[in-house]
Chain A
Amino acid sequence: MIGIVSYGAYIPKYRIKTEKIAEVWGEDSDRITKGLGIIEKSVPNVDEDASTLAVEAARIALKRADIDPQEIDAIFVGSESHPYAVKPTSTIVAEAIGATPHMTAADLEFACKAGTAGIQICLGLVKSGMARYGVAIGSDTSQGRPGDALEYSASAGAGAYIIGQKNLVAEINGTYSFTTDTPDFWRRPGQDYPSHGGRFTGEPAYFKHVGSAARGMMERMNTSIEDYDYFVFHQPNAKFPLRLAKKMGIPKEKVTPGLLTPYIGNTYSGAIMVALSNVLDQAKPGARILVSSFGSGAGSDAFDITVTDRIEEVRNRGTKVKEFIDNKEYLSYGKYVKHRRKLKM
């Protein structure tokens, strides 16, 4: 047996409403709110970054686990907003949770799926006996160019998963990935903001990869949509995952528990990790979950997961995703500019 020993998510306290951003750029806020399905997005505080979010998520995961941090043999942090261009985020997390020094660590990058890539690496290390426990984190404080469509969605959040073989809250029954070179979104060195292919980010990128990974996973497990209680898809906006569900014939109510973009925006590497945490916060023992992440560039990692009885024993030990979503404070566009350091002082 192998799977999730524990999990934790973190969302910063601040929010900005889509309408506040639209107002500044003279856009029709109703059209944008409806078009993206995003009511508001999370904004980090001035003293938060992908490292601090990762540490908070990892600390919650440890609260829900009965393990000694010294038993963690590997930590991977996936992000597209690592605070340093050179110097790992993963060592900061490892030191903060007390897992150093007899361990390995590395930072990962694969747009929004760097966190799930970390889960796969941990599965390999744990299954081979090279690690007792591995921690995979997806964390981002992503930025959109002011006035660009991404400014409405790019937000901040993190999710951490402890992978191991005993005391599982959820078994990982299998994983499958679908990967190609698809140039839908990128950022060159030295650039503050990413570039994207506009409409090209849809069909050939998101829908092809997330859909193929989900279908491929079901083929390999010999399962069908009816076998799953929840589907968690990457969520750059609220429209894409719902449209994919419709195309695949998945009932909407199996998707919405894992769809948080309307309330927090797109937390990039954090997105699928936080969304799955919200499902684990409410799923009953025995519930089966199909996850399909997405990273531009492009690839999707799918996971077939079954929740165990232990979930009910540990979930209340840590702050739940819903509590983070509800505990919020709104920012004006001016304050938002300060928080996102778009202001050069």
Chain B
Amino acid sequence: MVEGIPSIWRKIPNRYRLEGNVCETCETAYFPPRVVCPKCRRKGKLVKKRFSGNGKIYSFTKVYTPPTGLELDAPYHLAIIELSEGPKILGQIVESDDKKVKIGAQVKMVFRKMKEDGNAGLIHYGYKFKVID
């Protein structure tokens, strides 16, 4: 399915530079950013935050049958990354062999093409992760 242009555009700060937010009241960090802090509700005060991109693998799987637009990437690891600031996010792991991709492995963010809408459509850029040697 082709994602709409407004939706892709809105995600640019999140995908390009890992911009989420943090609640100044309870210090909880959110990625993707929240509109309201679920813990503090009306008492919460959310401010923008750029995450470092450092984190560790919380869980992972290996994808052999990819969705449209990712045919050339397969096979690849898809992981839930726990960022050092707290939030957990889903991301592709690149250039890290099976031996290195383990729960708890340290990763860092890299900037890659996330997918392409065919040869004439938009290129979606954003974060992926790489295991640190």
Residues of A within 8 A of B (CB): 13, 45-49, 51-52, 55-56, 59, 83-84, 92, 95-98, 327, 329, 338, 341, 345
Contact = CB atoms under 8 A, between A and B. Distances in A.
A95 B95 CA distance: 24
Contact of A48 (B113, B114, B133): B113
A46 B95 contact: no
A96 B72 contact: no
A52 B111 contact: yes
Contact of B111 (A13, A59, A341, A345): A59
- Category for how many chain B residues contact A: 10 to 19
B17 A47 contact: no
Contacts of A46: 72-73
Nearest to B111: A55
A55 B95 CA distance: 18
A324 to B, nearest CB: 12
A48 B112 contact: yes
Contacts of B12: 95
Nearest to A327: B133
Given A95-B16, A98-B50, 9 more contacts: A45-B112, A51-B125, A84-B123, A92-B125, A96-B125, A97-B17, A327-B133, A329-B95, A341-B72
Interface of B: 12-13, 16-17, 50, 71-73, 94-95, 110-114, 123, 125, 128, 133
A83 B123 contact: yes
Nearest to A97: B17
A13 B71 CA distance: 20
Top 8 closest A-B pairs, CB basis?
A55-B111, A47-B112, A46-B72, A96-B16, A47-B113, A95-B16, A52-B111, A13-B95
Nearest to A345: B71
